[in-house]
Amino acid sequence: MSIALKRIAFLAIIIILWEAVYRIGIWPEFLFPSPFQVMDTLKNGFTEGGFTIAILHSFRRILIGYTISLIIGVLMGIFLAVNKLADETIGTFVISLQSVPSVVWLPLALLWFKLGEASIIFVVVLGGLWNMIISTTTGIKNVDPILIRCGKNLGYKKMGLFAKVVLPACVPHMITGMRLSWAFCWRALMAAEILGTGRGLGQILMWGRDMGNMSTVLSIMVIIAATGLLTDNLIFKRIELKVMKRWGLAGS
């Protein structure tokens, strides 16, 4: 059985179990809707355009925040990797900040940037920033010393050695960091949209909760999960696999 069939079969089992729990009636219908009710909500949401608009708003925010976190994260990671003093001071601070949940930054974001796009994007940036810094720093530090010696034997020195040998060698590690940062940015975005403002998926999720419409809540959860699955499989996994093959770290 192919991987695709296995995944379809597993999804079918989940839906069957979901429907079985619904029919048993452990929870009232308004608290635990059936999968078919959720599918109807999804259909109506996309037909009326509300879910489509929310997805576009959320994607715009995450793309802006994710891009900023990558740029700052890579630059900071390189700086920490080549500067021992900075790594021993700022690096320790970065590691401690990685354990802080993204939602914790939202009160500060609301105070500094008020309600609006800036506060949400700020939280998204911080969601993926620390992981990208650590991934870049770790990747540079773990470059095989043999590659560095080979580069020196070829005549590369300092910046040339870093640009031609060290940086390309740590690309696989950075790609993995980019993949993880994307997931962290998504989590940060949902937290910011739920507690902040704006016409995104998080706001519809909060509206569904406030109105007691669990079908809408579960619909948004399905959209978030499906979006994460598609972006990871169609974009990041493919990029990671190509890089790994190119660098001789995976089978052809």
Between CA 207 and CA 201 the distance in angstroms is: 10
Q: Is residue 35 part of a domain?
A: no
Provide the pLDDT confidence category of residue 127 given band limits of 50, 70 and 90. Answer: very high
Q: Is residue 3 part of a domain?
A: no
Q: pLDDT tens across 79-97, in order? A: 999 898 998 889 888 988 8
Between CA 85 and CA 195 the distance in angstroms is: 38
Number of domains within the chain: 1
Between CA 93 and CA 115 the distance in angstroms is: 28
Q: pLDDT tens across 41-88, in order? A: 999 999 988 899 999 999 999 999 999 999 999 999 999 998 989 988
Altogether, the residues listed in the chain come to a count of 252
> For residue 238, what are the domain limits?
53-246
Beta-carbon contacts of residue 186 (< 8 Å; ≥ 6 apart) = 62, 224, 227, 228
Task: Tell how far CA 198 is from the center of its chain.
Answer: 20
Judge contact between 224 and 185, C-beta under 8 A.
no
How much of the chain, in percent, has pLDDT values that exceed 90? 37
- Is the pTM above the cut of 0.85? yes
In the block, which residue shows the tokens 């980019």? 178
Provide the pLDDT confidence category of residue 157 given band limits of 50, 70 and 90. Answer: confident
Give 162-165's long-range contacts (Cβ < 8 A, gap of 24+).
162/82
CATH of residue 95: 1.10.3720.10
